[in-house]
Amino acid sequence: MPLKFLKKHSHINWTLLDQAIVSGVNFLTGLLIARFLGIEAFGVFTLLWMAVLFVNSIQMAMISAPMMTIGPKQSDEERPGYYGAVVMQQTIFSILTTGILWLGMTYSHQINPQWQVAHLASPLAASLFFFQNQDFLRRLFFTGNHPVLALISDAISYLGRVIAFILTFSYATLSTADVLWIIAISSALGSVVGFSQIKAMVFNSEQLIPVFKRHWVLSKWMTASAAMEWMTGNIFIVMSGSLMGASAVGAIRAALNIIGIINIIMQGLGNIVPVRAAIIYEKQGAGFLVKYINKIMINSCLAVGLILAVICFNAEGLMQWVYGVEYSVYSYVIYYLATATFISIICMPIGAGLRVIEKTKALFLGVSLSAVFSAISAYLLVTLYGLNGALVGIIISKIISTSIPLLTFYKVTSLLSINFKRS
């Protein structure tokens, strides 16, 4: 029976193992960078890396997320041409965004002479290019039900990265540029191996526009939502850095790294739930989709809630043990961010459900209202209450961005179930 269970759910086992590697390495690299660069330099690195994460969130919304819900619906005849068009779309996107970031960094001193970051243009742009392509490939393999290939690409990229950091930090003092080059090179190696395994695709430029249009119908709201969500989640961090210095940013990022163990569950499910939900909805309808989403939500909330409770109970000890005494005074940050993370775990399966029924406007409305609140309140909250104000703002913005998608999903699926029964 155990062997039969493992074989039946092998796609989940490989996916969770892969996510364990990704999240584990992200935790270790964040720890190493924070510990050896120091809290202020780590804050500067965090602000720069936010640009990479912003572009990656747009890429996920425009390309990867639609692929993970539309891809499984393709027939055997349509599949090679569809995935070939998606790969071409990703290639064009990565070249354009990398060029824009490089230009922005190179000429940033003309906007603000105090920004001394022009020398980081090349390593940051290289990190962006290879990081987003490696991330796209892993999701392509998950969508095509090839989790072992995703695991190989991630193992080369992420394990190679942490090994490089351990070796170099042990024998040398690294700069921010060195850290970015290591990320770029490790991601490049994972990307090369990933692209070498792509098979059974037809690269036909005539299919590029039709696939892009179909993706855009689904992704237009998600793309706008991703941009809004980035602003919602990060404007308080940016404002903290502007008004309180890079150390405040380093403290928030350090606390997020500790809570990052939750990503093993959240991102692992993010690779599984959209694909499985699309198949359930296609074959069994809205009623079974709701049951599946409810099951994922309840189980993930229980698992995440337990882990977060343990982390909060040991917050001060963890901050000091992981990063050193310099960071221990910021242990209270973990309590706020743990609350925000718990709210996020509710939104993850709901977002997947809305993408499956192609009602993603609700995601945009939720983050839009949240972004409006963040834009209006960020300066005031940080000015009046400092870091505590920023953290409270993050929690409130999460509540706002979750409420509308939650209500919309259950309202729409209820109507779809009624119409299905009538027919």
Question: What is the predicted pLDDT for the residue at 6?
Answer: 38
Total structural domains in the chain? 1
How does residue 29 score in pLDDT terms, banded at 50, 70 and 90? confident
**Whether residue 99 has pLDDT greater than 90:** yes
How does residue 72 score in pLDDT terms, banded at 50, 70 and 90? confident
Question: What is the predicted pLDDT for the residue at 422?
Answer: 44
Question: What is the predicted pLDDT for the residue at 132?
Answer: 93
Mean pLDDT within 208-227: 80
Residue 331: domain span: 2-422
At 156-187, the pLDDT tens digits run 888 888 888 888 887 777 788 889 999 999 99
Question: What is the predicted pLDDT for the residue at 1?
Answer: 44
At 321-347, the pLDDT tens digits run 877 777 778 888 899 999 988 988 877
Mean pLDDT estimate for the chain: 81
Question: What is the predicted pLDDT for the residue at 96?
Answer: 95
At 393-422, the pLDDT tens digits run 989 988 988 888 888 888 877 765 555 444
At 343-397, the pLDDT tens digits run 888 778 888 888 888 777 787 788 888 888 988 998 899 888 888 888 999 899 8
d(CA 41, CA 34): 8
Mean pLDDT within 78-98: 87
